[in-house]
A and B are shown apart, each in its own frame.
Chain A
Amino acid sequence: MMETLHFYPEAVKFTPLATIRRERQLPIPGKVLVQRGDAVEATTVLAIAEQPAGVVIVDIARALKVSPERATAYLQRKPGASVRAQEVLARRRIWLGLRTLRARSPVDGEIVVAGGGKVLIRAGARSLELRAGFPGRVVEVLPAYGAVIETTGALIQAFWSSGADFSGMIRIVTSGAEPLRARAIDPVAQGTIVVGGAWIEPSALEQAERLQVRGIIAGSMEASLLPMLRDLSFPVVLTEGFGRLPMHPGIFRIFSLYQGREAFVLRPPAGPDGWPGRPEILIPVPTESPPPPEPAGEVHLHPGVRVRLLREPYRGRTGTVSELSPRPWTLDSGLRSWCAEIQLDGEEGRVWVPVYNVEVLRS
């Protein structure tokens, strides 16, 4: 008899109140500027690092007319030393000391390497700053890389974001699961994050650009609008996907609950496969006692689990698992898969879908 198999679909979280911790890290080692216990704002710089901006190569062997092996013997400055433009890097006397050959630095910078008859000078450096991204408290310092920040409030994991981290006051402009159109965005929306309960119409993007909003959060958008986003001055966040999908009612409720509060949108760094993680929307809410931590760990698929369906013909629908198939079944597509029976929300009845076509909703 076959043992019971467990399936662990991906999970998406949205919770109105939890204790939230996030690691914020530099991509390369640098210097951490905060300490454990520090209160930070979204703009607080947690850590800095320097990246070389450009490198200049100086062929000292050629300038001194010696072989590359002998050239380093004539160096006047060693790796690590800073140099000014026109400063002598290496010198060699010839003709019994009557004449001197010199190799000079063409730029201000720092000597990083000397070898093979050449000297490399790092000309300037780009400063890399890591900001907190949201207000909170430092609960752990990650030496040389950053810190773990904790806050309390709402957390919503979205599907996709067009831009970098941003923040602004939440302003809901639709009354529910209706498309976001230009007329819904009035001048009061200027400088806010506009939230729409369904998909975005092209006219809304134009109007939002005119009014200089901070960003748009909606359920979905046609992928054909992607080129249009490149010319916009604000980012767009989708909670459900591309196409015409309404925002999940639970997510819309959280936005409604915190209308007027400041939201912070974070774009997690790329995972080990290079693919960026889900964008996250944090809405800090001060509390007297700390709420429970956000849901963590994996959930295996079993009756009672809340799920969102990912593929046609049920894409975007939500429901509750009522049963798992006892063996793999052949789908209409011809593929074979273990399946889960889902009681769809509303009056839509029950459907069977492959276990790989659901994500667990954790709230």
Chain B
Amino acid sequence: MSLKSLVTIDVGSTQTRALLFARVEDRFRFVAAGSAPTHLRAAHPDLALGGIRALEHLSAISGRLLLDPQGILIVPELSNGAGVDACLVTLSAAPPIRVVLGGLSSEWSLASLRRAASSAYAQVVEILSLSPLNGQRQTEEAWLQALIAAEPHLVVIAGGIDGGATRPVQALLETAALAARLHPEGERPWILFAGNAVLREEAVALAGRELPLRVLPNVRPQLNVEQIGPVVEAMDQRYVERAMASLPGIPLLQGWARGDVLPTARALSHVARYLSLETPDRGTLVVDVGGRHTVVTAAHGGLLAQLVRSESGIGPGILSLYQRRGYERIARWLPHEVRPEALEAFVWTKAMHPLSIPQTIEEMWIELAFAREALAEAWEQLRTLWPELGRPARAFEPILLTGGAFASHARPGALALVALDALQPVGITTLLWDPVGLTPGLGALAALDALLAVEVVNSRPWIPLATVLAPALDGPVALDELLFTVEVHHRGPDGSESVYEIEARGGRLEVVPIPEVGETELRRFRMRRPVDLGWGPRRAPRRVRIAGGLLGLIVDGRGRPLRLAETPEARREQIQRWLWDIGALGGSL
């Protein structure tokens, strides 16, 4: 029977969000969102309490009774409209699992395992390799010592194409099995074997009944074939299992859920895949900057590339992010001067009180500077792991912005600028905005019922933030130098037409409001420099239809890569100018 209503609970590192989806006027769509602190750092942590309070908040906002007097979720929906037909839970609050990767070659099996680990909430704590690492060959004893010191939750062994090398892979497996036996039963790491298929039976025999071994399809059955999906799935399962054991309250929420708790990153990848079906030739980018993790997911054709960067975000992850990126990289994005001591005090305050939010505009700029660095770092790492994404990055369509850093804001231009600065898209693309954090819930729904998810996606649950036109330049340009002109043709629903010309200038952001109703096209591009708008230097189609959005059309004439002024004073002036251009300074929208 088709669902009439559903709640999703996304348990994040600082906030737990509850979302209500329901059939309204024959369409299944997003209805309302509520949130509450996750209750992870309390004297007696209880994540179920965070979930219950988020549901109470959702009840208050939506007017629908969701909890019975005992605080239990009402399932299924009652005839009086109380409760929901199903509940889904996504999770990113748990710390990443500790993972050891073992393989033969850093170019093949280990490269695939690294990509798999990057797609999950996993921290690679050790790498065992047959090929020399850092110029040194590892012995079996060194592998063993490393495995013991690493205290992994999961060990993945791969290597050898199907029918290829066996002996070195055997040695890795034997060592992993030995090390696992050192732990008492019940505390042993999972061992995943995803190598040469010839060794599967041997792996099973080696593990016996005492070791938690899983045999998976080879990550590299042939040199030119990669299948990391099963390894990612097993890592997800281990992550959830650890969370169930270590996070109080998660088992209760799991008890309410239909199906298993889904890692939030997996939910995001479902959404990325769905969106990419609409634009198969362009692909989709979903970026999530949260409290403790930053997740970037690119889906293009059959490729799904995902980077889960843990200890990175604007909550508990801000301290590690600052330690990695440093004062200069953060301060370069600020329109005002901030001393290192003041920035460090900010970082510590935020890390110790991750729920707290900027009250002043100055602190908002600091938080968004961290969001830029978190996103830029993850984006860079994603492109290093998946070089096929290209450099400069292809112009994905659309780019979806979600996560705590992109929460509801009165100056959406400031958020658009975070995405443009960190991702530096080239060509023409659309920015979609998820101010209430519904994307993980929608991803969980996609895993449960694909048709319902499509229905919600078709109801356009995200806010179109802007259409971005960002040319690649052939070299540095002077500030205000004319790059190209283009005519914006708008036809209103009443048939009225308006035409105006805009000028794209070097070092500038031009924002052109586009009416929400009617049709808008860009026509008559006139190139004044050999700029590339994604169709090749000086080339452009006769007409391009655009959607606009909350901000309208943003023409980003700053060039790629973005060049920041060298002196701090000039840089601050530059940032102020861009914030002003995009409408983030002065009165809010």
**Chain A residues near B (Cβ < 8 Å):** 2-6, 8, 10, 52, 54-57, 59, 68, 112-113, 115-118, 120, 122, 159-160, 222-224, 226, 241-243, 271-275, 277, 296, 298, 310-313, 315, 330-337, 353-354, 356-357, 359
B292 to chain A: closest residue by CB:
A273
Q: Kindly list chain B residues whose C-beta atoms are within 8 Å of the C-beta of A298.
A: 42
Instruction: Write out the residue numbers on chain B whose beta carbons fall within 8 Å of the beta carbon of A4.
Output: 60
Complex Cα–Cα for A59 and B171 (A): 12
- CB-contacts of B341-394 with A (<8 A): 341-342, 344-345, 347-349, 352-353, 355-364
Give complex CA distance A332, B348 in Å: 22
Name the one of A242, A274, A359 contacting B95, with C-beta atoms under 8 angstroms: A274
Asked if residues B356 and A310 are in contact (CB atoms below 8 Å), the reply is yes
Contacting residue for B206 out of A116, A312, A315, CB 8 A: A116
Is the Cβ of A243 less than 8 Å from the Cβ of B174?
no
Among the 9-residue stretches B140-148, B515-523, B538-546, the one with 4 or more Cβ atoms under 8 Å from chain A is B140-148
A332 touches B178 (CB 8 A): no
B41: nearest chain-A partner, CB-CB: A271
Q: How many residues of B contact A (CB 8 A)?
A: 59
| A and B contact pairs by CB, cutoff 8 A, 7 listed | A112-B181, A241-B345, A275-B41, A310-B356, A333-B361, A335-B410, A354-B357
Q: Name A11's closest neighbour in chain B (CB-CB).
A: B43
CB distance from A219 to the nearest CB of B (A): 13
Residue from B43, B56, B94, B588 with most neighbouring chain A CB atoms (10 Å): B43
A271-B356 in contact given A52-B148, A333-B363 (Cβ < 8 Å):
no
Known: A3-B60, A315-B349, A335-B364. A224 touches B410 (CB 8 A): no
On whether A333 and B177 interact (CB within 8 A), knowing A113-B182, A241-B348, A271-B40, the answer reads: no
Closest to B339 in A: A224
Q: A273-B93, A356-B356 are in contact. List 4 more A-B contacts (CB 8 A).
A: A8-B53, A118-B174, A242-B349, A275-B316
Q: Is B27 an interface residue (CB 8 A)?
A: no
Q: Are A334 and B414 in contact (CB under 8 A)?
A: yes
Given the known interface contacts A8-B37, A160-B348, the answer about A333 and B364 at a Cβ–Cβ threshold of 8 Å is yes
Q: Give the chain B neighbours of A56 by CB distance below 8 A.
A: 141
Q: Which residues, 46 to 77 on B, are CB-close (under 8 Å) to A?
A: 53, 56-57, 59-61
- Once bound together, how far apart are the Cα atoms of A357 and B353, in whole Å? 8
Among B145, B246, B352, residue most surrounded by chain A Cβ atoms (within 10 Å): B352
A335 to B, closest residue via Cβ: B357
Q: Which residues of B contact A (CB under 8 A)?
A: 13, 37, 40-43, 45, 53, 56-57, 59-61, 93-95, 140-141, 144-145, 148, 174, 177-178, 181-182, 206, 246-248, 292, 316, 340-342, 344-345, 347-349, 352-353, 355-364, 407-411, 414, 588
Determine how close the nearest CB of chain B comes to the CB of A75; give it in whole angstroms.
15
Q: Quick check: B57 and A5 within 8 Å, CB to CB?
A: yes
A4 to B60, CA, bound (A): 8
B59 pairs with A223, CB closer than 8 A: no
Whether A357 pairs with B357 at a CB distance below 8 angstroms is yes
Of listed A3, A117, A277, residue having the most chain B CB within 10 A: A3
B356 pairs with A312, CB closer than 8 A: no
Contacts of A359 in B (CB 8 A): 353
- Is the beta-carbon distance between B178 and A223 smaller than 8 angstroms? no
**Contact A311 to B53, CB < 8 A, known contacts A115-B181, A332-B360:** no
Quick one: given A334-B414, A335-B409, are A115 and B352 in contact (CB under 8 Å)? Answer: no
A224–B341 Cα gap in the complex (Å)?
A: 6
Pick from B53, B355, B364 the residue with the most CB of A within 10 Å.
Answer: B355
| CA of A336 to CA of B177, assembled, Å | 53
| Distance between Cα atoms of A3 and B67 in the complex (Å) | 13
**Would A10 and B41 count as touching, CB distance under 8 A?**
yes
A243–B342 touching, CB < 8 Å: yes
Is there an interface contact between A310 and B349, defined as CB atoms closer than 8 Å? yes
Given A57-B141, A223-B348, A243-B345, are A113 and B357 neighbors across the interface (CB < 8 Å)?
no
Of B94, B178, B316, which is in contact with the most chain A CB atoms at under 10 Å from its CB? B178
Task: Indicate if the CB atoms of B181 and A113 lie closer than 8 Å.
Answer: yes
Question: Residue of B at shortest CB range from A79?
Answer: B181
Q: How far is the CA of A333 from the CA of B360 in the complex (A)?
A: 5
Contacts of B246 in A (CB 8 A): 272
Asked whether B178 lies within 8 Å of A357 as measured between CB atoms, the reply is no
The answer to whether B408 and A335 have CB atoms under 8 Å apart is yes
Checking B57, B60, B353 against A310 with a beta-carbon cut-off of 8 angstroms, the contacting residue is: B353
- Which residues of B have CB within 8 Å of A313? 359-360
With both chains docked as a complex, state the minimum distance between the C-beta of A293 and any C-beta of chain B, in angstroms. 13
Known: A120-B178, A275-B316. A356 touches B355 (CB 8 A): yes
